[in-house]
């Protein structure tokens, strides 16, 4: 589904990603862990198409497409979803209007008719229940005045609405209390299918108590320095990152 080969990216000349390699197949859940500043969020942003980063080297293939030939909106319509670490507030744009526009634009991209208002509302009601999202939130402007936890839950709600093939969740767990975390993880697990995949970027092993990854990768200084099964996460929790850092020559 997704194949990243030797990906290098920089921001204003400063190299952040220094040769990432990663293969993600349908049905898989990958966790990417690593200390602050290792390039986790940059990787997520580059995959979603943020233009503040410049890709200098490497190749990313997604569902047979050269990813870098697609605009952010085309990537989204082709099934890539980025759960933002810091969801953006958009005063004046209602959640309903936002989701309706997004969903129907994606349908248009696929050559489908827009959903009728009643079908849309039905779809929305179902997904809201899935992530236990307060009804009042969808009547408000996008993320405006939402608490930290509400914003993250809203990301999962949007993911549920848009039913992506590849979900990239950028630290969706940070700042969540245990109840919110459980709801978020529950949402992710329910949306899991043999046909889609997730990349879960996290700081904390605790999320992985709820979302069981097939693979765990450690990103450090712009490179994946270790990959393994879910047991790698437990090891990291126990020992921290230092023992891995020592293993590489700086």
Partner 1 sequence: MSTEIVNTDIKIKLLDLFQENLSVIKNDSPDYINKIREKAIELFSKLGFPDKKNENYKYTDVKKEFDNGYKTYLSPKNIKFEIKDIFSCDVPDLNTKVILLLNGWFYDRENLLQELPGGAIIGSLQKAMEVYPELVERHFAKYADMEKEGLVALNTAFVKDGIFLYVPKGVVIEKPIQVINVLMDEEEGFTSHRNLYILEENSQASVVVCDHTLSAVNFLTNSVAEFFVGQNAHFDYSRIQNEHNGSKQISHLFFHQEKDSKVTNNTISLHGGVIRNNISVLLNGEGCENNTYGLYLTDKGQHIDNYIFIDHAKPNCISNQLFKGVLDDFATGAFNGKILVRKDAQKTQAYQANNNILLTDDADIKTRPQLEIYADDVKCSHGATVGQLDENAMFYMRARGIPKKEAKLLLMYAFAHEVIQKIKVPALKDRINDLVEKRLRGELSRCNSCQMHCCNT
- Select the residue interacting with partner 1 from 18, 50, 203, 245 (CB under 8 A): 50
Which run of H or of E encompasses 126?
A: helix 117-130
How far apart are alpha carbons 127 and 21 in whole angstroms?
A: 34
Shortest CA distance to 69 belongs to which of 55, 84, 52? 55
197 binds partner 1, rule: CB under 8 A = no
**Does position 162 bind partner 1 by CB under 8 A?**
yes
Among positions 76, 199, 218, 236, the unique one binding partner 1 when judged by CB under 8 A: 76
> Is 17 in contact with 46 (CB distance < 8 Å)?
yes
Q: Does 41 bind partner 1 (CB under 8 A)?
A: no
In whole angstroms, the minimum distance from the beta carbon of 16 to partner 1 comes to: 17
Stretch that binds partner 1, among 29-37, 42-50, 121-129, 182-190 (CB under 8 A): 42-50
- Give the bridge partners for 142, in sequence order: 90
Among 56, 59, 66, 73, indicate the residue that binds partner 1 (CB under 8 A): 73
| Residue nearer to partner 1 on the CB measure, 38 or 85 | 85
Report which of 48, 166, 161 is spatially closest to residue 105, judged by C-alpha positions: 161
Three-class DSSP category at 48: helix
The rounded distance, in Å, linking the Cα atoms of 181 and 16 is 29
71 is an interface residue for partner 1 by CB under 8 A: yes
Question: Residue 200 forms beta bridges with which residues?
Answer: 31, 169
Residue 73 beta carbon to partner 1: minimum distance, rounded to whole angstroms: 5
State in angstroms the smallest separation of the CB of 105 from partner 1. 5
Among 98, 204, 210, 241, binds partner 1 (CB under 8 A): 98
Asked if 102 is part of the footprint of partner 1 (rule: CB under 8 A), the reply reads yes
Quote the radius of gyration of the chain (alpha carbons, Å). Answer: 18
Least distance CB 101 / partner 1 (angstroms): 5
Query: What length does the chain have?
Result: 250
Cβ 115 to partner 1 shortest distance, Å: 14
Tokens 């986790």 belong to: 40
* Per CB under 8 A, 65 contacts partner 1: no
Angstrom distance (rounded) from CA 174 to CA 105 = 30
Q: Could you tell me the CA-to-CA distances from 142 to 53, 82, 154, 160, 188 in Å, in that order?
A: 25, 16, 9, 16, 21
Cβ atoms of residues 192 and 210 within 8 Å: no
> Is 84 one of the binding residues for partner 1 (CB under 8 A)?
yes
Among 83-91, 179-187, 199-207, 241-249, the segment contacting partner 1 (CB under 8 A): 83-91
Tell which one of 38, 77, 138, 205 touches partner 1 (CB under 8 A).
77
Residue numbers at the binding site for partner 1 (CB under 8 A): 48-51, 71-73, 75-77, 81-82, 84, 87-93, 97-98, 101-103, 105-106, 109, 141-142, 158, 162
């Amino acid at each position: 589904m997704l194949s990243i080969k030797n990906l290098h990216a920089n921001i204003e000349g400063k190299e952040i990603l220094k040769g990432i390699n990663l293969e993600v197949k349908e049905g898989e859940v990958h966790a990417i862990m690593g200390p602050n500043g290792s390039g986790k969020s940059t990787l997520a942003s580059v995959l979603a198409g943020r233009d503040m980063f410049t890709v200098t080297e490497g190749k990313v293939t997604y569902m047979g497409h050269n990813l870098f030939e697609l605009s952010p909106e085309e990537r989204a319509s082709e099934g890539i979803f980025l759960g933002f670490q810091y969801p953006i507030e958009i005063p004046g744009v209602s959640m309903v209007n936002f989701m309706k526009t997004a969903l129907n634009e994606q349908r248009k991209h696929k050559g489908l008719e827009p959903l009728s208002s009643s079908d849309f509302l039905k779809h929305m009601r179902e997904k809201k229940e899935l992530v236990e999202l307060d009804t009042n939130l969808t009547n408000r402007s996008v993320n405006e005045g939402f608490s930290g936890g509400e914003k993250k839950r809203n990301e999962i709600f949007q993911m549920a609405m848009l039913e992506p093939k590849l979900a990239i969740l950028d630290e969706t767990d940070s700042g969540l209390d245990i109840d919110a975390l459980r709801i978020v993880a529950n949402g992710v697990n329910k949306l899991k299918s043999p046909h889609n995949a997730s990349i879960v970027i996290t700081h904390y092993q605790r999320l992985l108590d709820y979302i069981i990854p097939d693979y765990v990768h450690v990103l450090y200084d712009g490179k994946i320095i270790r990959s393994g099964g879910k047991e790698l996460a437990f090891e990291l929790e126990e020992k921290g990152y230092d023992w891995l850092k020592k293993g590489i020559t700086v």
